[in-house]
Chain A
Amino acid sequence: MIEIKDINKSFGDKQVLKGISAVFNQGMSNLIIGGSGSGKTTLLKCIVGLHEPEKGEVLYSNQNFTAMDFEQRIPIRKEIGMLFQNSALFDSMTVEENIIFPLNLFTEMSLSEKRDRANYCLDKVNLKNTNKLFPSELSGGMKKRVGIARAITMQPKYLFCDEPNSGLDPKTSIVIDELIKDITEENNITTVVVTHDMNSVMGIGDNILFLHNGEKWWQGSNKEIAHTDNPELNSFVFASKFMQAAKEKL
């Protein structure tokens, strides 16, 4: 479980996050949604400690992460897997080396065990036989999936994904959503996914946080989101004619 309390973050004099509090529960997919530039990535980075919020706290299973220094954070960091919005693969390493990198540093596994683990993770994201390719030889969607594979190698307790299915075709996108959902439920981990993909919202959104201009505007589940009367959320969810038509049928 991750709890955030009153997170405030500014860049220069621009306040990007305004007092956001929320609880992300274990064993379910927690979604952060919102328009482009609403502060989703910034919030995610505050949670994992890549940005230091000016005010507020982040608690991982009731341990105050914000108050810890680099050394103290390491044990929690080892339990975190993160997919970055633009993948952030190590471009001097092959796909396989990217995935086994954390295993090299933090485990005593033999090379064949590490290879097996890499193949297992690649298989999960529907990428086989790409082991020896370099990130520059992959498409954007493939990079995303390698990023997910790398995030899950260490069997994290906390999984963060920044737009896991942007740039993927609808079918692969659903595969990835299902994968995230399965991993979360099977291993009972805490997953936080940033997305603006409505399919994912409807598909896996157990707990949805809607950000609007850096504020927490709405929170609920995918069952409630269709019936909300919040105007900003409504115009976000039912932006397309297709979704409006679908709503009228509901």
Chain B
Amino acid sequence: MIFHHLGKYILLLQASFKKPEKFKVYWSEIMREMVSIGIGSLGIVCIISVFIGGVSTVQTAFQLVSNLIPRSIIGGITRDSAILEFSPTITSLVLAGRVGSSIASQIGTMRVTEQIDALEIMGVNAPGYLILPKIIGGVTMFPLLIILSICLSLFGGYIAGSASGAVSSNDFIIGLTTDFNPLFARIALIKALVFAFIITSVSAYQGYYTSGGALEVGQASTRGVVMSCIIILCADYLIAQLML
């Protein structure tokens, strides 16, 4: 069963990466997807990032009660956990809901209303035309969103730290700026790329093989989100294991 889906998924990807019929048409599709994925996700990314940063600062401060540990360490912990895990993974899980469900339902609707058949009849490589721009859009925009998310979580941590009195802004800044390991940033960007690919391709796969009607489109969209989330978490573990 799993191998059946895996095989179909790989074949679909292979068809998606064929040479485009006409670059110009694909280009405008890519731009459209970049706007929809990138700009469209800005709001939600800002909100969750600020809160993630704030919460992790406050909670870390709460756990570090010892007087032997300098308060500035809180800034360092917030920074590392935001870069390594919270920003890339939580943001991607949330975006799996937003981006993944819209991709799966859009492609699924096109399938059940025969729009994909119409593309095929015209001689258009439907997977390429529909899926490739979404993958490219996701893979280019996600790293930017994750960088933004990291900055905003640090900002959220700073605000929450000083507002709650858990850590003074001075200590927080000192913590942020000491012992920075650039490997963490690299890992965050790799995660962003991998997760973007997973979300766009897995939900596109679920949408592309929908059959039936509106009900099945809804189910495909749910399946797309659930599958993306599970695969993201597995990939998250793998990347951590391999790179740390």
Q: Which residues of A contact B (CB under 8 A)?
A: 45, 48, 50, 70, 73-75, 77-78, 80, 82, 84, 86, 88-92, 101-102, 104-106, 154
Are the C-beta atoms of B113 and A74 separated by less than 8 Å?
no
B115 beta carbon closer than 8 Å to chain A: yes
Asked if B25 lies at the interface with its beta carbon under 8 angstroms from chain A, I say yes
Contacts of B118 in A (CB 8 A): 82, 84, 88-90
Please, how many angstroms separate the alpha-carbon atoms of A104 and B129 in the complex? Answer: 13
Q: Does any Cβ of A come within 8 Å of B121's Cβ?
A: yes
CB contacts (< 8 Å) of A102 on chain B: these are: 122
Interface residue from A50, A78, A88 paired with B123 (Cβ < 8 Å): A78
Cβ of B22 < 8 Å from any Cβ of A?
Answer: yes
- Asked whether A91 lies within 8 Å of B121 as measured between CB atoms, the reply is no
Q: What are 7 A-B pairs with beta-carbon distances under 8 A? A: A70-B125, A77-B121, A80-B123, A84-B114, A88-B118, A104-B24, A106-B22
Residues from chain B with Cβ under 8 Å of A50 in the complex: 117, 120-121
Chain B residues 22 to 44 lying within 8 A of chain A, measured CB to CB, are 22, 24-25
- Tell me, rounded to whole Å, the shortest Cβ–Cβ distance linking B216 to chain A: 16
Which of the residues A48, A80, A91, A104 comes within 8 Å of B113, measured between beta carbons?
Answer: A91
Which residue of chain A has its CB nearest to the CB of B116?
Answer: A88
Pair A48/B21 contact, Cβ less than 8 Å: no
Pairwise interchain contact B122-A90, C-beta atoms closer than 8 A: no
CB of A91 within 8 A of CB of B115, answer yes
Name the 3 nearest CB pairs between A and B, nearest first. Answer: A77-B123, A88-B114, A88-B118
List B contacts of A45 (CB < 8 A): 117
* Nearest-Cβ distance from residue A89 to partner chain B, whole angstroms: 8
B10 at the interface (CB under 8 A from A): no
CA distance A73 to B120 in the complex (A): 10
Q: Is the CB of B124 within 8 A of A105?
A: yes
Q: Which residues of B contact A84 (CB under 8 A)?
A: 114, 117-118
Task: Give the complex CA separation of A48 and B122 in angstroms.
Answer: 10
| Residues on A with beta carbons closer than 8 Å to the beta carbon of B120 | 50, 77
A86 and B113 in contact (CB under 8 A), knowing A104-B22, A105-B21, A105-B22?
A: yes
Is A82 in contact with B113, judged by CB distance below 8 angstroms?
A: no
Are the C-beta atoms of B25 and A86 separated by less than 8 Å?
Answer: no
Q: Which residues of B contact A89 (CB under 8 A)?
A: 115, 118
Closest chain B residue, CB of each to CB of A104 = B25
A77 and B115 form a contact (CB under 8 A): no
Query: Are the CB atoms of A86 and B123 closer together than 8 Å?
Result: no
Given A101-B122, A104-B24, output 10 extra A-B contacts at Cβ < 8 Å. Answer: A50-B120, A78-B122, A82-B118, A82-B121, A88-B118, A91-B115, A92-B106, A102-B122, A104-B22, A106-B21
The residue in B22, B120, B121, B124 that gathers the most chain A C-beta atoms within 10 A of its C-beta is B121
Q: Which residue of B lies closest to A80 (CB)?
A: B121
Q: List the A side residues contacting B124 at CB < 8 Å.
A: 105
User: Could you say which residues of chain B place their CB within 8 Å of the CB of A74?
Assistant: 123
Distance A90 CA – B25 CA, assembled complex (angstroms): 15
> What separation, in Å, do the CA atoms of A179 and B109 have in the docked complex?
31
The residue in chain B whose Cβ has the minimal distance to the Cβ of A93 is B115
Q: How far is the CB of B121 from chain A (nearest CB, A)?
A: 5
Q: Would you call A90 and B117 a contact (CB within 8 A)?
A: no
Instruction: Kindly list chain A residues whose C-beta atoms are within 8 Å of the C-beta of B125.
Output: 70
Is the Cβ of A77 less than 8 Å from the Cβ of B122?
A: yes
Taken together as a complex, chains A and B put the C-alpha atoms of A25 and B135 apart, in Å, by 44
Residue from B21, B25, B115 in contact with A88 in the complex, judged by beta carbons closer than 8 Å? B115
> Shortest distance in angstroms between B35's beta carbon and chain A's nearest beta carbon?
13
Cβ of B30 to closest chain A Cβ, rounded Å: 15
Contact indicator B122/A86 (Cβ below 8 Å):
no
A249 to chain B, nearest CB (A): 42
Complex Cα spacing A250 to B24, Å: 60
A88 to B111 Cα, complex, angstroms: 10
A102 to B123, CA, bound (A): 9
Closest to B26 in A: A105
What is the minimal beta-carbon distance from B34 to any residue of chain A, in angstroms? 16
